[in-house]
């Protein structure tokens, strides 16, 4: 993957994480809230992983 593609992936996962965090705040019950919080954590982790790869590629 080239640097631009990696940056796009980072942005994609960060946006998804943000949307899930917002949905968790709007959740009507604890199960739904926990689901979206878990999903947000997963997407945040993906963004972090891609950011690390990006840093290695540009170093």
pLDDT digits (tens, 9 = 90+) for 9-32: 999 999 999 999 999 999 999 999
Across the range 26-47, mean pLDDT stands at 97
CB 46 within 8 A of CB 13: yes
pLDDT at position 1 is 64
Compute φ and ψ for 27, nearest 5 degrees: -60, 145
Across the range 25-48, mean pLDDT stands at 97
Characterise 2 by phi-psi region: left (phi > 0), alpha (psi -120 to 50), beta (else).
beta
Confidence (pTM): 0.88
CA nearest neighbour of 37 among 50, 18, 11, 51? 18
* Cα 22-27-32 angle, rounded to 5 deg: 110
> What share of the chain has pLDDT > 90, as a percent?
78
């Amino acid at each position: 993957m080239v640097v631009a593609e990696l940056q796009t992936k980072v942005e994609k996962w960060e946006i998804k994480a943000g949307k899930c965090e917002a949905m968790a705040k709007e959740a009507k019950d604890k199960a739904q809230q926990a689901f979206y919080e878990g999903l947000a954590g997963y997407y945040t982790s993906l963004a972090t992983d891609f950011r690390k790869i990006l840093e290695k590629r540009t170093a």
